[in-house]
Amino acid sequence: SSFCSLATSGGREGAEAPVPAMSLDGLDADTVFNTPCFGYTYDDLISLPGQATPGDGAIDLATRFSRNLVINSPIVAAPMASVCEGQMALAVALSGGIGVVHCECDPDVQAEHVTVVKQYEHGFIMDPMTLSSVSTVEDYDRIREKHGIRTVLITEGGVVGSKLQGIVTSRDVDLVTNRKTRLEKIMTPREKMRVAREPISLSEAMDQLREKKVGKLPILNDSDELVAMVSRKDLKRTTAHPLAAQDANKQLLVAAAVPPRMTEKERVRKLIEAGADAIVLNAAQGDSAAQVEFLRWMKHDYPNVDVICGNVVTPRQAKPLLDAGADGLRVGMGSSSLYATSEICAVGRPQASAVYHVAKFAAEYGVPVIADGGVQHSSHITMALTLGASTVMCGCLLAGTTEAPGEAFWHEGQRLKTYKGLGSFEVEGGGKTHGGVSCAVVDRGSASLLVQTLSEGVTRDFRRLGAANVNQLHEDMYTAAVRFHIRTVGCRGPAFATAVA
C-alpha cells in the first residue's frame, strides 16, 4: 500500500469505515513512522495544535527519569566531561531535572561530584557532624576546613546514637585564642538547647524548626540519644526551589555514568556509597553482551539502584536490556547536535524515528526512555516528549553555561567555552578514530536560568497541544489524538534549503 493509502486510513487497522484523507488534519504517529524507507529527525515533523489547556499553571512537567525516579522537569544533563560535574548536576536538580556526572575521571573524583549534590540539601540529616566533650577547638577547626560545616553536636561518645551533651557553632569558637581548649568549656549545654523527639515526620520537624526559631534542631529518642538533625538552611533552600528534584529524604537527585565493564565494579561501589540515585551505563552501542552481563551483576548486587542502559535506536537492541532488568533506556545513535554535515555517522537512526519505536516498545515493559542527542532548543524537547520519550538529555545546550566544566575564553568579541563530543579525539585519546568533533559554544550564562527558559518553552508547547502532563501527551500520541505533518525542505527556512542544496 502506498503512503497516500496509509494517510487515507489514518494508519489504524480494523477501522469501522474508511475515513477521508487526513491531509488537512495531519497523520497519526503510527502512520508516519511505519511508512517504509523513511526515517525522521525532530525538524522533519511538526505537531498540529489541540484544544489549548486553560493556563500554564495547569501543566505539570513531572516525569519519570527511570523506573523508580520521578523528576519535575524533563531536562537531563548529559554525562560529558565538558557538560556535567557536581555544579551542573546541582543546578539542574534545583531546577527540577537531573544531572548525570560523567565518568571521564578518577572514581574518587566522580564520587566527590556526587557528594556535592547529595550534601547540598537534606531532610533528616542522619549523619550530622559530632565530637565528644573532650575534643578540642582544633578538632572543630579540622571539620570546618574539610567539610565547610560550622555546627557540631557534642555527644558522650562523639558519635550519633549516644547521649547529646551540647552544641558548638562558629560563634562559640571564633574568639577563642587557645585552640586546644576543650569543647565542654565553650559549648551550649543540652539543658539550654531546643530539641525534638522521635517518632516525628519530616514535615512536623520542619514545623517545629519554624516555631522554635533555631538554626539546627536535633532529634532525640526517649533515652536522650541523638538520632538525626534538621537544619533551617535546608528549609530555606526547599522554599527557594519548590521544583527541585528530591528523594524521600529531601536530598537532591543525582545520577552517575559508569562504563559497562567488570573492571568498574569499584567505581560503582564508591558512587553508590556517595549517594548516587541511579547508574547510567555509558556506551555508544548498548546492545552488547558486556552491557547485559554488567547490568545483571548490578541488579543482583544493588537491586535497589536504578540502572539506565544504552544507547539503542531499535526495539531489537532494546529487548536484551529490558529482559535483563534495565530501569531506563538512552535512545540515540549518530544524531548528536555536534556532528558536522561531513561527519554524519554511517550507523545509527534518525532521532525522531528512534525515539518513537524504542519508546513504544519499552512502554510494554513499563520502562521510560531518555531521548539522547540532536536537541538544540525547547521545540526539540517537546517533539521528543510527544514521540514517547519521558526525558531529554542535553549536552550542547548546557555546555556553554557557567556551571559547565572548563574556563571561558574570548574569541572575536564572543565569550566561548569548549565543548567536546563523546567521540572526539581529545576525549577518546590513544589515536582512536571514532566519529565526533570538538568545538566552542557561546557562553549561555546560568544553567538554572537556561533550564527555566527551556521548561517555559516546553510548557508553552504543551498548552498549545492541549496536554496537561507528559503521561497525557503520550496517551494522546498513541491514541492518534496528536497529529503530525511532515515538513518540506522549504518550510524549514531558506538557510536550511540552501545548505541542503
Q: What are phi and psi of 394, to 5 degrees?
A: -115, 130
pTM, entire model: 0.80
pLDDT of residue 1: 39
Q: Within 10 Å of residue 37's Cβ, how many Cβ atoms?
A: 5
pLDDT of residue 240: 85
Give 158-177 pLDDT, tens digit per residue: 999 999 999 999 999 988 99
* Angstrom distance (rounded) from CA 217 to CA 160: 14
Task: Find the helix packing angle between 86-94 and 107-118, rounded to 10°.
Answer: 30
Cell 502506498 appears where? Answer: 2
- Percent helix, strand, coil in the chain (nearest 5)? 40, 20, 45
Residues with Cβ within 8 Å of residue 258, at least 6 apart in sequence: 103, 264, 267, 268, 271, 279, 280, 281, 282
* Angstrom distance (rounded) from CA 220 to CA 213: 18
Give me the half-sphere count of Cα atoms (radius 13 Å) on the Cβ side of residue 78.
29
Give 242-252 pLDDT, tens digit per residue: 999 999 888 99
Mark the ranges of the chain whose per-residue pLDDT is less than 50: 1-15, 18-19, 21-23, 339-343, 423-436, 495, 497-501
Cis ω for the linkage preceding 311 (within 30 of 0)? yes
pLDDT of residue 489: 75
pLDDT of residue 4: 43
Q: Within 10 Å of residue 285's Cβ, how many Cβ atoms?
A: 14
pLDDT of residue 438: 61
Task: Find the helix packing angle between 447-465 and 86-94, rounded to 10°.
Answer: 40
Cis ω for the linkage preceding 242 (within 30 of 0)? no
pLDDT of residue 15: 45
